[in-house]
Structure 1
Amino acid sequence: MNLKAYAELTKFEHTIFALPFLLSSVVLLVDSFPSLWKLFWILLAFLSARTLGMSLNRLIDLPIDRQNPRTKDWIHARGEVSEESIKRLAVFSGAVFLLSSAMINLYTLLLAPVVLILLVFYPYAKRITYYPHLVLGMVYFLIPVAVDVAINEQVSKIALVLGVGMGFWVAGFDVLYSLQDYEFDKSYGLKSIPVKFGLGRAIKVARVFHIITFLFLFSLIFLVDFLGFIYVLGMLLLGAFLFYEHSLVKEHDLSKINKAFFTVNGYVSIAYFLTVLFDRLL
């Protein structure tokens, strides 16, 4: 595959959702600036895990994506990227992830299989449970936990609280994103919160998830010494972004889902990182 095809297959632009939260985790959890060597392996582990997850998702969901009107024109569903190419990408990225985990420390290597299990399970989750969004949330929950293990060789209360906030953030917007596939999922026998509860109730569930996100992220001000007035202002901005995201999505009008998903969630993660960074620097 060429670089453009690779980026399109793995939706590389979606990295903006998780990468700022990864960096936020580093800023919140370190006592002093870690070595560039360790940061390199942490970042490589993150990127390779994400690539592995996207590759497995594309590979396992290929028969579904070929029939779903929303995804049938995606590059892998059109056949422009072969199954063998996706398999090779998954094997390569998985190997890089394990290598990166081993290069950080023993504890990250021991945590790596948990991440792999969740990445493999997520594409199958919508065939098994009505709550696949929470499986994806678990993957994001592990990001600050893994950072804490990588840098401090522990799992602190800060990492757990941050992980819960991140997990419900991604689970919430995954619920909103799945609204688009409501009719197809029902006809194909796939499961999701919208399929179980209907569009209106699913939107309310997503709102509850994001309220949990806001509360847990805000509560970090009581756990992290350097967080103060700037963090409060940043959280108010983040809350405004989440409110705006939900104002775009209505039960009888899903036309702005992509704006809510791609644009606003990018703002949320970037705003949070800048808030944490400036509060620590200033």
Structure 2
Amino acid sequence: MVLNKPFRKIYDYGKLVMFSHTIFSFSFAFFSMLLASKGLPSIHTLFWIIMAFLGARTGANAINRVIDSDIDAKNPRTANRQIPKGLIGKKEVIVFTILCFGVMVLAAAELNLLCLILSPVALFLLIIYSYTKRFTWSCHLILGVTSAAAPVGAWIAVTGKISWISLLLGAANALWVSGFDVIYGAQDYDFDTENGIYSIPAVFGIKNALYISSALHIISVIFLIFIGFLSSNLGGIYYTGLTLMGILLIVEHRMISPNNLANAKIASYNINQLVSIIFLISTTLDIFI
């Protein structure tokens, strides 16, 4: 792809922060916002929720690339990323991260006091995740908890408080993200075990890791079903969406095996992008129809 320098920089930053993966937590955050407000919130609230979400996830992915740049350079699968290849410098990514996190904190202040009070907790999770693979196999779960801040935060942004539904929705998001991140991490089993990187596949083996991933996804769907029972705003369209999501998750897990991880990236990312879109469409339609 031949691009002019400014567009090349934008393209590289889009790749750096994995902008195409925004849908993973956005679908849960948007659903949480709609459920909390029983429809669309005010334009002010909607705008600052989106700004907080974009600032948080973009900054988190940017700082992750800085923190992991040395590891990425050693791993053949990730050696072509923007920082190891020298396409983007660490210092400019750090500045970019600070700007993103600044937008998140500003958005939290514009939303309500509880959002602002909890923003340091969110920042801590967004940064600490990148270090966890150096000392704990639960890094996948910590990534999930970090992602869960999106739906819980959206609920707080609308209502100014935390509820059981928001926590269940956050838990469902966390388990789902953790589950497909385990699959993605299985690709690096050899590299991780040779270089002392912690992950569920590296510690428990690929076979057991895939079982754990399946269990996480099953529990996630159960939580989403339970949310449907707790909310009077949800009905047939919501459950139809969950059914399609469940089918896709089954397909995802059938695509891979301990002896065949050729489709791990498709199973972990591409399939779950489709899951996210189905969840976003079905929940939105159910609330408005």
Q: Decide whether the 8 Å contact of 2:180 with 2:269 is kept in 1.
A: no
- The CA distance in 1 between the partners of 2:151 and 2:16, in whole Å, is 26
- Cα drift, residue 32 of structure 1: 4.7
Q: Deviations over 1:145-173 (max 9, x none)?
A: 11111100111111011111100000000
186, 199, 202: which is aligned to 2:193?
186
| Long gaps (5+) in structure 2 | 1-5
Matched, 1:11 2:25: no
Matched, 1:176 2:183: yes
Matched, 1:23 2:15: no
256, 261, 264: which is aligned to 2:268?
261
Matched, 1:246 2:241: no
56, 61, 65: which is aligned to 1:49?
56
Q: Decide whether the 8 Å contact of 1:56 with 1:120 is kept in 2.
A: yes
Match of 1:96 in 2: 103
2:145 corresponds to which letter in structure 1?
Answer: M
- Once the two structures are overlaid, the 10-residue window that deviates more, 83-92 or 163-172, is 83-92
Q: Decide whether the 8 Å contact of 2:25 with 2:151 is kept in 1.
A: no
- The CA distance in 2 between the partners of 1:88 and 1:61, in whole Å, is 17
Match of 1:160 in 2: 167
1:30 corresponds to which letter in structure 2?
Answer: S
- Cα drift, residue 8 of structure 1: 1.2
132, 146, 158: which is aligned to 2:139?
132
| Long gaps (5+) in structure 1 | none
Tell me the TM-score normalized by structure 1.
0.97
Number of matched residues?
282
Q: Decide whether the 8 Å contact of 2:82 with 2:88 is kept in 1.
A: yes
Q: How does 1:183-262 map to 2 (within 5 A)?
A: 183-262=190-269
- Cα drift, residue 41 of structure 1: 0.7
- The CA distance in 1 between the partners of 2:111 and 2:34, in whole Å, is 18
- Once the two structures are overlaid, the 10-residue window that deviates more, 91-100 or 30-39, is 30-39
**SS at 2:134 equivalent:** helix
Tell me the TM-score normalized by structure 2.
0.95
- Cα drift, residue 262 of structure 1: 2.2
**SS at 2:128 equivalent:** helix
Q: Deviations over 1:227-256 (max 9, x none)?
A: 122222221111001111111111111111
1:153 corresponds to which letter in structure 2?
Answer: G
Q: Decide whether the 8 Å contact of 1:172 with 1:210 is kept in 2.
A: yes
271, 275, 278: which is aligned to 2:282?
275
1:170 corresponds to which letter in structure 2?
Answer: V
- Cα drift, residue 31 of structure 1: 3.0
2:223 corresponds to which letter in structure 1?
Answer: F
- The CA distance in 2 between the partners of 1:128 and 1:168, in whole Å, is 21
CA-atom RMSD in angstroms: 1.1
2:64 corresponds to which letter in structure 1?
Answer: N
Matched, 1:58 2:72: no
- The CA distance in 2 between the partners of 1:223 and 1:124, in whole Å, is 36
Match of 2:3 in 1: none
1:256 corresponds to which letter in structure 2?
Answer: N
1:258 corresponds to which letter in structure 2?
Answer: K
- The CA distance in 1 between the partners of 2:99 and 2:62, in whole Å, is 10
Matched, 1:150 2:157: yes
